[in-house]
Structure 1
């Protein structure tokens, strides 16, 4: 697996180097330039919109022909967007104000459920496209697979694609949110739309499949002129050509914007290049700043609910607070919460507000209870650990309450056993001993273990469990480490 990955990376780099050599040889006297401004994986970071607006105004003042596009994942990451009266609406309002032309779907667009997403798409001032999903029989309107936009007399075709899990065949969201939607492999849908090349002057993949997926698509589908991507949070700072397809992505959280320059003689594309622009040096646009201030005018989220006199310096410290809160709220022996669900990696010393709690867990997950044996808890942890096929990427994924555990690895880096110690320091030995275990509904639905998709729904939101826990504790200062990896 490692050899194959290295081979693929080398292959992509060679293609990129070869393509780069072709970049400017046709550029002599281009008569028309079209600029595409791109964003991806904004994750509701609306505080960055005022600076982005200033940058956008500058680009539009300097260039008469500008398109503005987004590569998905607009939701999940800001308390005021994720908990708005109409979930997600502030993001679409801001994007509409800035004049987006087209966007694709990301996996986090489904975090609020079908009905909420349908409201946002139906009311959107810009089209949201996706070629590899079928919504028949659901409350979600079927998005168009592509959109052709004319700018300066040149026809640009944007093809929308979303990535899916190779096993579950759905995007990375709670399965309950997409249970009636059918998704297809992105390449299958892309190949079916190759004919679009004949209907436009520029063929662009607007994708949410990650950098590796974009690289594979560029190799397999040279009909594309440009791929504007998302999902992997990869920051591509300068022009990268793979199989002569210009591939871009701007990291995440609207820290950068992508600028793709396309030069034409008549309607023929003769040069293409790209750069990422860091936005932190731009002044804030007053009008957009006022919009953001109004969106954030929610006094209830500023309310202090506790303190941390020492601060929670690391992600595991924050996660410990989450799992401890779950255990207390649902009366569990142990609770587990996934690393990707912790969206606030540290909390500085000082007040803990309600906003802090919602920033940690923006997904509105709730607690599901199970009765699991020691062996079954071990399998839950090991299945997830070993599911990361590349051993360099293997890491602790599940944080724990009321105890600690150590994953034991063999020489190949595979997890082979888990040593559990309870809160009193006693090693757990009986493989058939049963425990009450709390999980988030996301882990319950997506992780591979004997109780997958089952368990008792407590109907206790994790944010409410955290709020009560912090209020009860008063001062939260759990600095201990509870998860470890060692060689056997």
Structure 2
């Protein structure tokens, strides 16, 4: 008989406030484990640029912490894959002391991403061969914008499983940053997989879930839980029992020094960002859209110019803090706009511009106080929709830059990719010709605009 213990994390999203407890949990689990073999895996979205230290170090601080935990392998999430430029992702793991297992992200020349390997085989002290594979959510519309070739799981998984069979693997573990629905589908189609460690949709399986004999595991989000898997194997290296559970970090003991460490991570990031000056503005840009100098007015100009568009639309909930008169730093912009959101140029005919504006007007009152979560948004409420160059009269006629819409003419609107992903404006997805402008986040677009308009004196 042989026993194997696996500890796993997922969707940490740079929630450093939980890292001290997770560190101690991992150390204790490793030290006190009576299993024959112990493994530690992370299932992606470990980093999130909403945290100043991650933003300031391009994720290097996250990798440094992961190195200290001695992970056996990780895969990437969309925050690593789409929250970094191609070059940044290429070098994110330069200092990592663990392998990145990722079977569906390729260079345009058909080579697997240079920082990744397609699978990993671990052999236990008792000779069991464990095949580890990893996949990330295939955002086929956005990865190509960063010059990546992202591949669908149904095309890549069968051949990967076939390779593990050729390698005579006794146990197969999938590191899946694919979401709960895909995990269940994979379990249904591939019962030869023993364990799927899940993530991406932030689901929590407190005691695991067995689908078609496959053990599905997931530890929620933000390091609020840590997952543990126990496997029992017979003398022929076949799994005879498997179970899973999660441990809430809120139930783990805090130490006196935790808060000072957590605070230090934020301070280190802010110090780096504050040292990088961007512009010098002559007046405060206010989050209040009725103020003398609304922040959103400058942002609308910036996005319209960046997208080379006729008009622009933004929402007030994006702007979390004022930009104070004087020197503007990267810290100021990061605090104001921490979102993983990009500018998007959308081309529509006049009749579809009209329909989009009617959708916006219909949803305006609801969105004003709507608590918005996800889709790259890191604020609280969606807020007020604000137009630049768009007006509507009492008869619902729409005018762009003072001229009435020509129904068959094409127009370019500066929007955000966020508006494509939320469900309130279906016209964008149904008929829009959408060009998401990677790799810059909206704060980077604004930084370039302010740098040019209000140069440092």
Which residue does the alignment assign to 1:131? 103
User: How big is the shift at 1:149?
Assistant: 1.6
For residues 143-182 of structure 1, the aligned pairs below 5 Å read 143-153=116-126, 154-165=128-139, 170=140, 173=142, 175-179=144-148, 181=149
Which residue does the alignment assign to 1:278? 248
For residues 20-99 of structure 1, the aligned pairs below 5 Å read 31-64=1-34, 65-85=37-57, 87-99=58-70
- Structure 2, gaps ≥5 residues long: 276-280, 361-372, 376-381, 399-403, 422-427, 451-457
2:88 aligned with 1:116, yes or no? yes
Deviations 1:348-378 (A, max 9, x none): 99x9x9758536434373x456675553335
2:332 aligned with 1:361, yes or no? no
SS in 2 for 1:402: strand
In 2, distance between residues paired with 1:206 and 1:458? Answer: 27
Q: 1:97 to 1:372 in 2, by over 3 A?
A: same
- Structure 1, gaps ≥5 residues long: 1-30, 313-320, 385-394, 405-420, 471-488
Q: 1:81 to 1:380 in 2, by over 3 A?
A: farther
How many residue pairs are counted as aligned between the two chains?
391
2:396 aligned with 1:432, yes or no? no
* Counterpart contact for 2:17–2:262, Cα < 8 Å: no
* Counterpart contact for 1:334–1:401, Cα < 8 Å: no
Q: 1:34 to 1:295 in 2, by over 3 A?
A: farther
Q: 1:184 to 1:436 in 2, by over 3 A?
A: closer
2:114 aligned with 1:141, yes or no? yes
Q: 1:119 to 1:464 in 2, by over 3 A?
A: closer
Deviations 1:26-71 (A, max 9, x none): xxxxx54322111112222223211111211221232053211011
For residues 304-453 of structure 1, the aligned pairs below 5 Å read 326-329=299-302, 330=304, 335-336=312-313, 358=334, 360-363=337-340, 365=342, 367=343, 374-377=350-353, 401-402=385-386, 422=391, 427-429=396-398, 432=406, 437-440=413-416, 447=429, 449-453=431-435
* Counterpart contact for 2:183–2:198, Cα < 8 Å: yes
User: How big is the shift at 1:206?
Assistant: 1.0
Equivalent of 2:210, from 241, 246, 250? 241
Task: With the length of structure 1 as denominator, give the TM-score of the two structures.
Answer: 0.65
User: How big is the shift at 1:293?
Assistant: 2.1
For residues 249-260 of structure 1, the aligned pairs below 5 Å read 249-260=218-229
In 1, distance between residues paired with 2:7 and 2:350? Answer: 52
Equivalent of 2:196, from 216, 224, 227? 227
2:158 aligned with 1:191, yes or no? yes
In 2, distance between residues paired with 1:458 and 1:274? Answer: 39
Aligned-residue Cα RMSD (Å) equals 4.8
